[in-house]
Chains A and B, each alone.
Chain A
Amino acid sequence: MAIRRILVANRGEIALRIIRSCEALGIETVLAASKADLGSLPARRATRTVCIGPAQAAASYLKVPTMVQAALGTGCDAIHPGYGFLSERSDFARLCENEGLIFIGPSPDQIEAVGDKLKARAVAIEAGVPVVPGGAAETLADALKLGREIGVPLLVKAVGGGGGRGMKLVEDIDRLEETLALASAEAAAAFGDERVYLERYVARGRHVELQVLGDGAGKVVHLGERDCSVQRRYQKLIEESPAPCLPEGLRDDLRIAGVRFARHLSYRGAGTVEFLVDVDRGEFYFLEMNARIQVEHPVTEEITGIDLIAQQIAIAAGEGLALEQDDIRLTGAAIECRINAEQPARDFAPSPGRVAEARWPVGDGIRVDSHIEAGSMVPPYYDSMIAKVIAHGADRKDAIDRLRQALSGTSITGISTNIAFQAKLLADAEFAAGGVDTGYLARLGAREPTLFEV
Chain B
Amino acid sequence: MSISSRDLDEIMRLFEQSGFGEMKLEAGDLKLHLRKAGVSSGTAVAIPMQTGSAVPAAMPALPAAPPVGVAVPPLGPGEIDVPSPLLGIYYRAPKPSEPPFVEIGQDVDEDTVIGIVEVMKLMNSVRAGVRGKIVAIHAPNAEMVEFDQPLVRIKAAA
Q: Which residues of A contact B (CB under 8 A)?
A: 2, 4-5, 25-27, 30, 35, 48, 50-54, 60, 65-66, 68-70, 73-75, 95
Contacts and interface: CB of A to CB of B under 8 A. Distances in A.
24 contacts: A2-B56, A4-B55, A4-B59, A26-B50, A26-B54, A27-B55, A50-B68, A50-B69, A50-B146, A51-B69, A51-B148, A53-B147, A54-B148, A65-B119, A66-B87, A69-B87, A69-B88, A69-B118, A69-B120, A70-B144, A73-B89, A73-B144, A75-B65, A95-B120
A95 B149 CA distance: 25
B135 interface: no
Contact of B88 (A60, A66, A74, A95): A66
Nearest to A24: B54
Given A52-B147, A65-B120, 14 more contacts: A2-B56, A4-B59, A5-B65, A26-B55, A48-B65, A50-B69, A51-B87, A51-B148, A52-B87, A66-B86, A66-B119, A68-B120, A70-B144, A75-B62
Nearest to B120: A65
Contacts of A48: 65
Interface residues of B, number: 25
A65 B118 CA distance: 10
Given A25-B54, A50-B68, A51-B87, A75 B119 contact: no
Contacts of A60: 147
Nearest to B146: A51
B53 interface: yes
Nearest to A70: B87
A349 B69 CA distance: 37
Contacts of B59: 2, 4
Contacts of A2: 55-56, 59
B63 interface: yes
Contacts of B144: 50, 69-70, 73-74
A5 B119 CA distance: 21
A399 B73 CA distance: 55
Interface in B36-68: 50, 53-56, 59, 62-65, 68
B87 A4 contact: no
Q: Which of B59, B118, B147 has the most CB of A within 10 A?
A: B147
Given A30-B65, A35-B147, A75-B62, A69 B55 contact: no
B148 A35 contact: yes
Interface in B6-63: 50, 53-56, 59, 62-63
Interface in B77-135: 86-89, 118-120, 122
B54 A53 contact: no
Contacts of A51: 69, 87, 146-149
A4 B122 contact: no
Nearest to A64: B120
Interface of B: 50, 53-56, 59, 62-65, 68-69, 86-89, 118-120, 122, 144, 146-149
Contacts of B54: 25-27
B131 to A, nearest CB: 25
Nearest to A30: B65
Contacts of B56: 2
Contacts of B122: 65
Nearest to A53: B147
Given A2-B56, A60-B147, A66-B119, A53 B65 contact: no
Contacts of A68: 120
Nearest to A99: B120
Contacts of B148: 35, 51, 54
B31 to A, nearest CB: 10
A280 to B, nearest CB: 50
A70 B68 CA distance: 12
A283 to B, nearest CB: 44
Nearest to A2: B59
Contact of A26 (B53, B86, B88, B120): B53
B50 A53 contact: no
A116 to B, nearest CB: 26
Nearest to B117: A69
B62 A69 contact: no
Please give me the 10 A-B residue pairs with the lowest Cβ-Cβ distance, nearest first. A73-B144, A65-B120, A26-B53, A51-B146, A26-B54, A51-B147, A74-B65, A25-B54, A53-B147, A52-B87
A4 B62 CA distance: 8
B146 A69 contact: no
Contacts of B69: 50-51
Contacts of A73: 87-89, 144
